[in-house]
A and B are shown apart, each in its own frame.
Chain A
Amino acid sequence: MFELTAILKQPKQKSRIGAAKGRDSMASARLVPLSFLLLLVGCASRPLYPLPGKRYDGSKKPLQTFRPYNLAHRGSNGEFPEETAAAYMRAIEEGADFIEGDVLASKDGVLIMQHDVTLDDTTDIAEHKEFANRKRACNVQGTNTTGFFHFDFTLEELKSLGVKQRYPFRDQQYNRKFPIITFEEFISIALDAPRVVGIYPEIKNPAMVNQYVKWPGGKKFEDKFVETLHKYGYRGEYMSKQWLKQPAFIQSFAPTSLIYVSNLTDLPKVFLIDDITIPTQDTNQSYWEITSDKYLNFIKNYVMGIGPWKDTIVYVSENYLQLPTDLVARAHALNLQVHPYTYRNENQFLHFNFSQDPYKEYDYWINTIGVDGLFTDFTGSLHQYQEWTTPSPSGEKSATKLLDKIGSMISKYRNPQT
């Protein structure tokens, strides 16, 4: 600033005509890059005023913590293709407490939201002839799998694909309309919501990702994962003030990854547990070992909850639920939360006890089994169930609604059959 005014002043102070001309040209030579530099600085700097759309940031409706968490599994993928921006925004619209997603990595090391290690089932990769030769066979957790693997494509290439609805019996109208999104885009969607919405990202297949994707500086997948969270200000222990501002759970099937990241962040972690036939991908431990009291006692120093497959908590026979196991009781005894997966509305996923009624299933798991969170493909249904049976209080707004409700209840009582 000062330099500029000094330069501008100089020609005026000295003699005008001939000398001024020479000095002018020298001054303008310095002037142009300087003003250019200032312009650059000016444009790059953060505006001093809040964005009009964000003016009331301070009074964002906080996360509810009085009833089990509504975890939007892959976003509202009952309605939209999974893990797309639309699926997540719809989930937020439908009242999700947390939006959940699986983090993998592209060939060039960018963290992306994608569940399968192959692109075959949920994208239109088959229609992209330019990638036809990228098909290969890989060993995925002991099984030989052939397909198009995420780590063989750069972000730009992945972005050229269209995501489709995985299940044929769900709405197909959005197929190929949305792209794969990055971890950072996922975070932005959560932070941009009009109320506090938590994130629930998974460190997915870390063994495989670290095998095929390399980052500079010897960094691993888990490092980049946590770095991204730090970049956006995610930190703090469960229920701490910082955490409640930007809630997050880190989940993984791989215990070593969770233990590793516990040295990098104090964010709460959840240990995912697969079916009883599947050992852990990193430590090759059986279901029985990792759900034993001994193991839970050990892992509770690193995680604050477990995420089991729901059919292992209560066994199923002939599509009927049998007696529950003691897994939830034992987990709760060690102060570990239980967030089972996955709840789906379609009757093929509902056991016959529930009469094809997803709300009956929610009722059973919330009231009879007593879980602390539910991964659901149908955020709206879970939210509706919870709002109807355990509605959230919301201060002054519902005072009149409250009086209305009491009024109607009393009037019905007074006029039973007239």
Chain B
Amino acid sequence: MTSVRTVSSILLLLLVECAARPFYPLPSRRNDRSKQPLQTFRPYNIAHRGSCGEFPEETASAYKRAIEEDADFIETDILASKDGILICFHDLTLDATTDIAQHKKFESRKRTYEVQGKNITGYFTIDFTLEELKSLRVNQRSPFRDQQYNGKFSIIIFEDFISIALGAPRVVGIYPEIKNPVFINQHVKWPIGKKFEDKFVDTLKKYGYKGTYLSKQWLKQPAFIQSFAPTSLIYISHLTDLPKILLIDDATTPTQDTNQSYWEITSNSYFDFIKDYVVGIGPWKDSIVPASNNYLQTPTDLVTRSHAYNLQVHPFIFQNDNMSLHFNFSQDPYNEYEYWIKKIGVDGLFTDFTGSLHHYQEWTNPFSMGEESASKLLDKIAYMISKFRNSYN
């Protein structure tokens, strides 16, 4: 009998030991404390769906590439699978960015749903379990971008996305979106009556994301929560003090949950109301400065008024592809960055081309800090002075 107890206690101890956290830090994490912090002196470089100009959107590679290219934040859209797992995916349907059409066994899953007043037909993420979604491969959405990674990467989950950010060699923030919450809550149910927004915040809390904007905790693990649905943002403000951003669609689209028009939600009185819940807005850039014949017209006062209410402005989207650039910019994405950062004065930019924005910022407003760059700084000054001296001769 003693041997049975001994064996079982030994087994139990072994189990505990194997499950227990090691006492030593992982060799690759030894210098965790000296991670280069988030820059906060110039507008945020927000990697829209990762570096999706180069890699298929919202894949691990797209995010890792964005981090490599010095993004301040990696951005994503959170939806849910049939079995309630939070996934990183932009469209409600799988048609445009996956190889779903090649999976004959899922043919029957094609359905039509009403989304924000319109009937949409396709393969909806909410009709697939995570395992099924993982069997698909993600494709590059835009045909004029690099197609070589098509069929190579799979959809990732919210937790994977967070791990990628936390695993970066420097502090990288996350910028997840509570996407289509009305639709998700309609079709996906979680136990104990939890909603999409609850699961969303639960995940963030699980990984230690908390703190108000620019607080010490926040700077360790920066995060913005974004959504087009004001009620979702108001709802979660009771669950977390992380900073929130109200996304604003173009002038023709009302909010999906409160059916308010663009004009209403960009009015001064609305700003006065929503500023108690969000730290900023994320408008579509052509509503800030309308375009006509592919030329920018006079800017509206949206940014000025937002700033008056201490609301940041993070417009979307900045893309290098020439068909996305208005003619004022001579097909030069750097001219566009210059305009938005210097003339309009935005506080963050959602870009598909993290590397380009980073270059622009480094060349015009470089980030130098700490002892490492002291000698580089002196070199730079010497070089500048020597050129100045020689030009006198």
Contact = CB atoms under 8 A, between A and B. Distances in A.
A395 interface: yes
Contacts of B146: 319, 352
Interface string A389-418: 100011100110010011001101100110
Residue in A352, A355, A399 whose Cβ sees the most chain B Cβ within 10 Å: A355
Contacts of B119: none
Contacts of A413: 368-370, 373-374, 377
Interface in A343-365: 345-348, 352, 355-360
Contacts of B53: 355-356
Contact of B332 (A318, A358, A402): A358
Interface string A249-292: 00000000000000000000000000000000000000000000
A388 interface: yes
Contacts of B369: 412-413, 416-417
Contacts of B144: 347-348
A355 B330 contact: no
B384 A78 contact: no
B349 to A, nearest CB: 15
A409 B391 contact: no
Contact of B330 (A348, A381, A412): A381
A241 interface: no
Contacts of A417: 37, 40, 219, 369
B54 interface: yes
A170 interface: yes
Most buried by B among A394, A398, A413: A413
B252 interface: no
Contacts of A356: 53, 145, 320-321, 333, 353, 356
A346 B331 contact: yes
A169 B325 CA distance: 11
A384 interface: yes
Contact of A409 (B320, B330, B353, B380): B380
Interface in A298-349: 318-319, 345-348
Interface string B168-187: 00000000000000000000
Given A173-B293, A357-B359, A406 B332 contact: no
B293 A412 contact: no
Nearest to A398: B388
B363 interface: yes
Contact of B320 (A170, A357, A388, A394): A357
A359 B377 CA distance: 24
A171 to B, nearest CB: 5
B28 interface: no
A357 B320 CA distance: 7
Contacts of B355: 355, 357, 360
Contacts of A79: 327, 330
B215 interface: no
Contacts of A319: 146
Given A171-B327, A347-B144, A398-B388, A355 B54 contact: yes
- Most chain B C-beta atoms within 10 Å of own C-beta, residue among A79, A319, A409: A409
A43 to B, nearest CB: 44
B322 interface: yes
Contact of B368 (A345, A388, A409): A409
A402 B384 contact: yes
B41 interface: yes
A409 B381 contact: yes
Interface in B29-58: 37, 40-41, 51, 53-54
Nearest to B54: A355
B392 interface: yes
Given A357-B353, A357-B359, A399-B388, A384 B320 contact: no
A393 B293 contact: no
A243 interface: no
A308 to B, nearest CB: 24
Contacts of B112: none
B43 to A, nearest CB: 16
Contact of B333 (A357, A388, A389, A402): A357
A345 B331 contact: yes
A327 to B, nearest CB: 27
Interface in B109-148: 144-146, 148
Contact of B356 (A352, A357, A384, A410): A357
Contacts of A359: 334, 356, 359
B320 A355 contact: yes
Nearest to A410: B377
A345 B322 contact: yes
A378 interface: yes
A380 interface: yes
10 contacts: A346-B322, A356-B321, A356-B353, A380-B335, A381-B330, A389-B363, A395-B391, A405-B384, A409-B368, A416-B369
Counting from the closest, the 8 A-B pairs by CB-CB distance are: A388-B363, A356-B320, A393-B387, A345-B331, A393-B391, A416-B369, A346-B322, A352-B146
Interface of A: 76, 78-79, 169-171, 173, 318-319, 345-348, 352, 355-360, 378, 380-381, 384, 388-389, 393-395, 398-399, 402, 405-406, 409-410, 412-413, 416-417
Given A359-B359, A360-B359, 15 more contacts: A79-B330, A169-B322, A169-B323, A347-B322, A348-B322, A352-B146, A355-B53, A356-B321, A357-B333, A357-B355, A384-B334, A395-B388, A402-B385, A412-B367, A417-B40
